[in-house]
Chains A and B, each alone.
Chain A
């Protein structure tokens, strides 16, 4: 059975893929369906959902269109989540490969640095970084990556330690290949599968961290974010709870979708690797 067929036969994976597809569709269609500034006033303040069909999810405290904000927020969540996870995976894979392949002092130094990053809770690290450097999309991405690259680094290093003893690495040295070429062309690609298997968890965590930073007012102020919407809604939680609940549900479904789809991909491809 092909991995795709097996994926489609796993209900959780399909549910995850549908959620993820919906999220991507929202992010991509945001500026088509809601071309104006999502932070502009669109109607009377605190309009409840399902009252006015031009504003299906109602408006917030300032009269902004909640549905438009939700779509544009999907874009921020997805962009930050993917960019931060990609940065963490790339940095982690490179650091782990160098440490594992070089060994000795290089390994010692790189792993001490990894330890140092790992002892600080990643959310505190992100919080401190954004507070010092200032909130913008790029900084938020770096801040989240700063606290997440250590996991991929450790996994990559462990994998490289076992791969570097294989004959084909000795073979590459015998034909005179440069050590850096061996590390990055011969060893790294073969160390990647277990590192990539972590990506769904990392993307999900990055989306949550971004939301948490925005909730604390440390997101990019020029962009709508779900975390920011939840924080906004909190001030009127008793009179208009939907303002916090709607982006909260979107966040939960997104994280769930990313996680389930990611696990589904790992499961179905891992089984295939085991068979071959």
Chain B
């Protein structure tokens, strides 16, 4: 059974009197331990889908089933408790944390809220989380704004795995990082997936990133699904106009696609 099954999801916004359909009748599923990529040009509705799946906004129509139950039916304390299983990493790791927070504070919150560790035990758990994402425990007392962008994104991942989720939504989570750091973070994500069987909903406009980590891909265009399938199959021979356009915009991939050596 799918871990996450989204069916006929629709979200409209009204802006200046007229209505925009940001997400239009979208259906897809994510299996346990798998990475599904959501790709598409800017404004195609990727972040809106992420926010819908995380119940940060409510859809106008559609169903979201998570871990076998109706996720849209949850509310209040039940929803907050279930959130432990469904986490998110944002694009800008600086914006994703309270500007006043320290690393320890950021990691303490999920452990406290979901009663994962007692107060006395939490500092040890925080140190273990930091080490799990390739950081050292002495980073704990530092302020979020003092550490580097790559370290910050590792802290964001540590926060996301603190509650042992089955699915993490990564909304352009590596887009803001420079190339070498990006590779390290992707390796960390792959390692976590292998060790903990975490599934990812990977949102990206970068086909290179998608090809290196995603099993399947869904291509979005103006809120609708243009094409979907096995990552390599879709990227190597896109059928939709938007797939061809995205491939043409990725020069390095374009060359390897044309030149099989």
Could you tell me which A residues sit within 8 Å of B by CB distance?
A: 166-168, 170-178, 186, 189-190
Which residues of A lie under 8 Å from residue B81 when comparing CB positions?
A: 176
- How far apart sit A176 and B80, CA to CA, in the bound complex (Å)? 4
Task: Give the nearest-CB partner of B159 in chain A.
Answer: A175
A171 touches B163 (CB 8 A): no
Partner of A175, one of B51, B56, B99, B110: B110
B54 at the interface (CB under 8 A from A): yes
B83 at the interface (CB under 8 A from A): yes
B98 touches A168 (CB 8 A): yes
- How far apart sit A201 and B110, CA to CA, in the bound complex (Å)? 40
B92 at the interface (CB under 8 A from A): yes
Shortest A269–chain B CB gap in Å is: 15
- Chain B 81-116 near chain A by CB (<8 Å), digits 1 or 0: 101101110101001111110000000011001100
Shortest B108–chain A CB gap in Å is: 11
The 24 listed contacts between A and B (C-beta, < 8 Å) are A166-B95, A167-B96, A168-B95, A168-B97, A168-B98, A170-B54, A170-B56, A170-B88, A170-B90, A171-B90, A172-B98, A173-B56, A173-B83, A174-B86, A174-B88, A175-B83, A175-B110, A175-B113, A176-B83, A176-B84, A177-B80, A178-B113, A189-B100, A190-B99
Task: Give the nearest-CB partner of A178 in chain B.
Answer: B80
Q: Which 4 A-B pairs have the closest CB atoms?
A: A176-B83, A176-B80, A167-B95, A175-B110
B94-143, CB < 8 A from A? 95-100, 109-110, 113-114
Task: Give the nearest-CB partner of B113 in chain A.
Answer: A176
Task: Give the nearest-CB partner of A173 in chain B.
Answer: B56
- How far apart sit A170 and B87, CA to CA, in the bound complex (Å)? 11
Partner of B56, one of A166, A174, A177, A190: A174
Task: Give the nearest-CB partner of A185 in chain B.
Answer: B98
Q: With A174-B56, A176-B80, A176-B81 in contact, is A167–B92 under 8 Å at CB?
A: yes
- How far apart sit A254 and B141, CA to CA, in the bound complex (Å)? 43
Task: Give the nearest-CB partner of B88 in chain A.
Answer: A174
B44-93, CB < 8 A from A? 51, 54, 56, 80-81, 83-84, 86-88, 90, 92
